[in-house]
Amino acid sequence: MPEVWLPMVKPTVISTFAGCGGSSLGYQMAGFKELLAVEWDDNAVQTFKLNFPDVPVYHGDIGKLTGEKCMELAGIKRGELDVLDGSPPCQGFSTAGKRKFDDPRNSLFKEYARLIQELQPKVFVMENVTGMIKGVMKQAYLQIIKTLRECGYKAKGQVLNAMYYNVPQSRERVIIIGVREDLGIEPSHPKPQTKPISVKSKINHLEKNGGPKLTDVSKKYWPMLKYGESASKYHPKGHLFGMVKLNPGKPSPTLLKSCGNPICHYSMPRFLSATELKIIASFPESFKIKGSIGNIRDRIGNSVPPNMMKAIAENIKTNILECSISK
C-alpha cells in the first residue's frame, strides 16, 4: 500500500508573562497553537485580547495559578504541552537599574520554574535581559539555570540579538531553552538569519510628521544630536539617556518602556509614532495596542520582537520537537 501522508498536528504553547503578545505572535507565525496566555497587567490583557481573540487568557497573578488549573484551562494533561514560554519581569537584572541580587522582582522566575515542574512541558523558553549574566548578577543566572535543570531539563542559555532575525532593532536578550531529559535532545538556538536592517528601509515611507511632538526640554537637545547619540551626552547632569536620535542607516537601539524623552526620528524633530514603534519591533502595522502612546511604548518595550521569537520557535519545532517524534 502507498504511504499515507498525514499533516503534522500543530505544536502547542502556553505563554506566561504574555504581555501584549509579542511572543505569541512569533509562535503563531511559526505554526504553533497557543492554548493559554497568562498576564496580570490590565492594558496588556486588553491589547492581547484584541489581537488574539481565540486564545484563552488567565488574567491574574501567576503566583496564584496552580499547574492543575493551568492544565484545566489549556485542556491538557501533565507532560503533553510542547512549549512553556515565559519572560519574567527583569528590571532587577537590568543594567539600567541598581541590580540588587535580592531584588524582589527577580523572584518571579521561581513561579515560572514551579509551573515547569508541575506541567512538565517538552520544552521551555525563558527570555531575560543580558544584565543577568554580567558582574555580580551572574550568580543569579547560575542559580536560575540550576533551578531549571532540577525540574528535569537540559537547559542552555545564549545571548541573541534581534537585529539578526529580521528585526530593525538592536535588542540583546538572554534566551534560555530547556528540553525535558527523557527526550534525549540537546537544547539549541537559531543561527543568525539576516544582516542588520536599517530603520530607514522600514519606516521612511511613513508620514514624516506623524509622531508626538518633542517636549520643551527635548527641543533644546534634538538639534545637537548626531545620528545614534543620546541627549545625556549634552545634558549637564547626564539625564535624558533614553532620548536618542535614530541613525537611519542602522538598526534602532533597544526600544525601552515609556519614558519622558524616548527615541527620536532621524530627520524630523519629533518622537516616533505608534506605527514606527511597531515596525521597529517587527509587529505588523495592523497590530492593535490599546491606550495612549505611553501604553504603546510600555507594551512594545516589554515585548519579545515577534520575528525573533518566530526564529526561536521554528528552531524548536524543527530541531527539537520533530526530532523527538522521529526517535
pLDDT of residue 312: 98
| Overall residue count recorded for the chain in this entry | 327
Mean pLDDT of 201-216: 89
- Using a CB cutoff of 8 Å and minimum separation of 24, what contacts does 239-245 make? 243/218
Domain membership flag for residue 115: yes
Under a CB-based contact definition with an 8 Å cutoff, are residues 263 and 242 in contact? yes
pLDDT of residue 66: 96
Domain membership flag for residue 260: no
pLDDT of residue 222: 95
pLDDT of residue 83: 98
67-74 and 108-119 helices, crossing angle to 10°? 60
Domain membership flag for residue 284: no
pLDDT of residue 318: 96
List the single range of 131-135, 166-170, 238-242, 246-250 with lowest mean pLDDT: 131-135
Percent of the chain with pLDDT over 70: 91
Its pTM stands at 0.92
pLDDT at residue 258 greater than cutoff 50? yes
Domain membership flag for residue 281: no
Residue-wise pLDDT for 46-60, tens only, equals 999 999 999 999 999
The residue ranking higher by pLDDT, 143 or 261, is: 143
pLDDT at residue 228 greater than cutoff 60? yes
What the block records as the C-alpha cell of 240 is: 535624558
Domain membership flag for residue 238: no
List the single range of 29-38, 115-124, 233-242 with lowest mean pLDDT: 233-242
Within the chain, how many helices (H) and strands (E) appear?
11, 7
In the chain, the number of structural domains is 1
Domain membership flag for residue 237: no
pLDDT at residue 102 greater than cutoff 80? no
Which residues face 270 on adjacent strands? 213
pLDDT of residue 1: 43
Residue-wise pLDDT for 281-290, tens only, equals 999 999 999 9
Q: Report the greatest alpha carbon distance in the chain.
A: 80
Domain membership flag for residue 299: no
CATH number at residue 52: 3.40.50.150
Q: Which domain holds residue 110?
A: 12-192+305-326
78 C-beta neighbours (distance < 10 Å), count: 12
Strands 12-16 and 57-59: unpaired
Domain membership flag for residue 242: no
Dist. CA 172–CA 162, nearest whole Å: 6
pLDDT of residue 4: 47
Percent of the chain with pLDDT over 90: 77
Give the active site residues.
Answer: 90
Residue-wise pLDDT for 64-96, tens only, equals 999 999 999 999 999 999 999 998 875 555 555
Dist. CA 75–CA 138, nearest whole Å: 37
pLDDT of residue 153: 98
Mean pLDDT of 110-132: 92
**E strand or H helix at 14:** strand 12-16
Mean model confidence pLDDT for the chain? 90
